[in-house]
Structure 1
Amino acid sequence: MLDLAVVLVLIVLNGVFALSELAVVSARRSRLHAMAEAGRPGASAALALAEEPGRFLSTVQIGITLVGILAGAFSGSALGGRLATWLTGLGLPVAVAEPLGFGLVVALVTYLSIVVGELAPKRLALRHAEGLACAVAPAMTIISRIAAPVGWLLDASTDLVFRLLGRAEAPEERVTEDDLRALVAEAERTGAIETAERRMIAGVLRLGNRPVRGVMTPRGEVDWLDATAGEAAAHAVLTRTAHSRLPVGEGSTEAMLGVVQSRELLAALLVGRPLDLRAAARRAPVVPDTADALDVLATLRAAEVPMALVHDEHGHFEGIVTPTDLTEAIVGAFRSDAEPGDGPVAVRREDGSWLLAGWMPVDEMAELIGLALPEERSYHTAAGFVLTAAGRLPPVGEAVEVQGWRFEVVDIDGRRIDKLLVGPMRAAIAPAARRPGSGLLAG
């Protein structure tokens, strides 16, 4: 029984080393930092081991190797011999009993070593990496100091092998945006965050990648006041607009004076005071259309009025951007802010295809249907994506094919694509191709 107990202890010790190895390596350093700042015992030691993974892994490997050798030698010589003697007593020939006893012991010890000494500890370490890392770190630190000379030799030898392979430098540890998206998706799947929270986080990530041109209200949709047009024209704009702030121009949008508060002008009209748009205009910041949306958010915080005028590189007025535009990029448009006649941005149809608004941000469309977009692109909407793929404005009923998806133009408002029907090519081509005037243009 003592021999069996020794073997079991060695197997459990092997499991402790395996658990320690995976727990420290897979523990997130950000969590360990937070736990160390909170005074969690062992967290600082776990961080120290994680900072030098080479020496730590060398120490663990020394322990696992020694335990494996001892377990194999002890089980073969002690347990194997005892089992062979027992089998001989049952009447088996010595020539059969000795290899059979040794083989059975090796098989049993190997099985226990794999399950108890490797798989179960490693699975446990993956489930509770940070907590177990803190628990085992003090003991592993002591063992690392004891085995420091041998550990240094093994670590240096490993570095030499990497240099010979041309990979001397360790890769920089960093979290990519894809890693963050995957982490958020996993948090949603496990119930750690709600679906609405995941969508908002995805919106923040999208906003960080958008230029202001991708979130602004374009020039053609901006309600503005002409300081040279007279009170009647200003009154007409004020009574039809739903916006609380309006830009003021001197004869055209190319000569913007600033921004006025609609309620101040309406109050003046109610008491019969004359309108002085130039005097009422407040200075608004001017931002280039290539500026990052998040940088513009900081500009709006510091501005006298929460509205910025967007100009291109030639100084031409391109549109306006407000905090509402940036908020909608994160949480979506509010129904009360929608223009009359605006429908949902995306509607899933019974056949699995999508009816999309042309003004839908192209990164949201790509995320919705699983489309790969180039890093550098000049378009920011689904309509712009189709125009770029077609190379022109397609007529109603025409379609373009891109990455296995078919984008059919189903409605045009003036010279702007208003609605798109999007679906996998195999599901959507056949019925649409029979329409008069319908065609396919490869993108």
Structure 2
Amino acid sequence: MQDHPSGAKLLDTKPQRSLFERLTALISPEPEDRAELLHILHDAHERHLIDADALSMIEGVFQVSDLSASDIMVPRPQMDVIDVTQPIEEWLPLVLKTSHSRFPAVEGERDKVIGILLAKDLLRYYADESFDVRGMLRPAVFIPESKRLNVLLRDFRATRNHMAIVVDEYGGVAGLLTIEDVLEQIVGDIEDEYDFDDDADNILPIRDGARGARWRVNALTEIEQFNEIFGTAFSDKDVDTIGGLIADHLGRVPGKGDVVEVDDLRFEVLRADARQVHVLLVEKLIEAAAARAS
């Protein structure tokens, strides 16, 4: 055997394994597919080897690789946009009301997205009488509906971009999504402009739509509180929250854009992640029928 000089160290030529590879190496027997790996991870959670948050994030990583932009985007009708052909005073109240950090800027119609306006850039409007909205716009990033979320997340990180406009096969705007929307599929809901400060804000009236009066409802609102406000008699025997009620009717975790009609109410999912629904739009069907008849 060849001797080595005192103090000399042999170089480790073995490639460094990723955290995921080291994690799976600790589990025996070696899983043959993703389903088996998830089964083993669930078993590890039951044996308190990993906590619930870690398991949830690992599942979220798998889901991100399976989802595309169209699965989680904010649909075109729900996009909050500014129209640069209108005076600032026309759309500034929308900016203040929604409190988003970024807004797609359109030129007359939603298919003509010409850039992204950062809300913080509007501070210059109050200090500069010659404020030029078009000059403040950042370039918009356009992606196809089929783009995988794991690829999009990598692009977001590489370009330091936070918003993408989703287009359909004909080049029309289908919706938008942000880096936060992608991350929420992994870590769960992130506090943002859709969050509710306290129980008193669980049910908030919003501007009437084509169907009449509408409410924005926290999906964690207890059914008892919901019944008191809407005069309904939903049972809380099997579920505690209104989001749980919607999931029970669908037989699965609700997704953004899902619509459910229960008794005389119409529920539309405004915000959801891979694990639960967060925000609902509620409308009364009776008022909708009256509006159509008038």
TM-score, scaled to structure 2: 0.62
Q: Note the residue ranges of structure 2 that are not aligned, 5 or more in a row.
A: 1-12, 16-26, 197-215, 224-234, 271-294
Task: Note closer, same or farther for the CA distance 1:207–1:284 as it changes in structure 2 (3 Å cut).
Answer: same
The whole-number CA distance in structure 2 between the counterparts of 1:345 and 1:212 is 26
Counterpart residue identity of residue 42, structure 2: A
The aligned residue for residue 421 of structure 1 is none
- Say which SS state the counterpart of residue 291 (structure 1) adopts: coil
Aligned residue for 1:333? 189
- The one of 287, 294, 298 equivalent to 2:154 is 298
Alpha-carbon distance in 2 for matches of 1:227, 1:290: 29
2:198 is the alignment partner of 1:323? no
What is the match of residue 95 of structure 2? 238
> Residues 85-104 of structure 1: matches in 2 within 5 Å?
none
Select 1:308's aligned residue among 115, 139, 164: 164
Partner residue, 1:120:
none
1:212 CA drift (Å) = 0.8
Corresponding residue for 1:249?
A: 106
Answer whether contact 1:245 1:260 (CA < 8 A) is retained: yes
1:338 aligned counterpart, secondary structure: coil
**What is the CA distance between 1:345 and its match in structure 2?**
6.0
Deviation per CA, 1:147-179, whole angstroms, max 9, x where unpaired? xxxxxxxxxxxxxxxxxxxxxxxxxx9732211
The verdict on how the C-alpha distance between 1:345 and 1:217 changes in structure 2, with shifts beyond 3 A counting, is farther
Query: 2:45 maps to what in 1?
Result: 188
User: Cα distance 1:326–1:383, how it changes in 2: closer, same or farther (>3 A)?
Assistant: closer
Q: Which residue of 1 aligns with 2:243?
A: 356
C-alpha deviations, 1:43-86, integer Å up to 9, x for none?
A: xxxxxxxxxxxxxxxxxxxxxxxxxxxxxxxxxxxxxxxxxxxx
Q: Is the 8 A contact 2:74 2:177 kept in 1?
A: yes
Change (3 A) 1:305 1:383: closer
Q: Looking at CA atoms only, which structure, 1 or 2, has the larger radius of gyration?
A: 1
Q: Which has the higher contact order (CA 8 A, sep 6+)?
A: 2
Relative to structure 1, the CA distance from residue 203 to residue 347 in structure 2 (aligned partners, 3 Å threshold; closer, same or farther) is farther
**AA aligned opposite 2:136:** A
Within-5 A mapping of 1:218-233: 218-233=75-90
What are structure 1's unaligned runs of at least 5 residues?
Answer: 1-35, 39-127, 131-172, 369-379, 388-393, 398-409, 419-443
Contact 2:84 2:107 in 1 (8 A): yes
Deviation of 1:271 after TM superposition, in Å, equals 0.9
Match of 2:69 in 1: 212
DSSP-derived class of the 2:183 partner: helix
1:365-399 C-alpha deviation (Å, 9 max, x unpaired): 74x6xxxxxxxxxxx82764xx7xxxxxx7543xx
Amino acid across the alignment from 1:381: G
Q: 1:358 to 1:234 in 2, by over 3 A?
A: farther
1:412 aligns with 2:266: yes
**In 1: Cα distance, 2:79 partner to 2:246 partner:** 15
Alpha-carbon shift at residue 184 of structure 1 (Å): 1.2
Amino acid paired to 1:300:
F
Please give the TM-score of this superposition, normalised by the length of structure 1.
Answer: 0.43
Contact 1:287 1:309 in 2 (8 A): yes
| CA pair 129-316 structure 1, distance change in 2 beyond 3 A | closer
Q: Whose strand fraction is larger, Structure 1's or Structure 2's?
A: 2
Displacement after TM superposition at 1:299 (Å) = 2.3
Cα pair distance change 1:279/1:411, threshold 3 Å: same
Please say if residues 282 and 305 of structure 1, whose CA atoms lie closer than 8 Å, have aligned partners that are also in contact.
Answer: no
Amino acid at match of 1:204: V
How many residues end up aligned between the 2 structures?
216
Partner deviation per Cα, 1:334-390 (whole Å, 9 max, x = no partner) = 344425644136979753247437998xx9x74x6xxxxxxxxxxx82764xx7xxx
Counterpart Cα distance in 2 of 1:264 and 1:342: 31
Aligned position for 2:60: 203
Say which SS state the counterpart of residue 356 (structure 1) adopts: helix
Q: Give the superposition deviation at 1:37.
A: 5.3
Q: Distance in 2 between matches of 1:347 and 1:212?
A: 32
Q: Deviations over 1:267-317 (max 9, x none)?
A: 112214333222111112211112111111122223363211001111111
Question: Percent of aligned pairs with the same residue?
Answer: 21
**1:412 and 1:338 mapped to 2: Cα distance?**
20
User: SS in structure 1 opposite 2:109?
Assistant: coil
Q: Match of 1:310, SS?
A: strand
Cα contact 1:260–1:281 (8 A) shared by 2: yes
CA distance in 1, matches of 2:37, 2:221: 25
Q: C-alpha separation between the residues in 2 aligned to 1:306 and 1:291?
A: 16
Partner of 1:85: none
Q: For 2:53 and 2:45, how far apart are their aligned partners in 1? A: 9
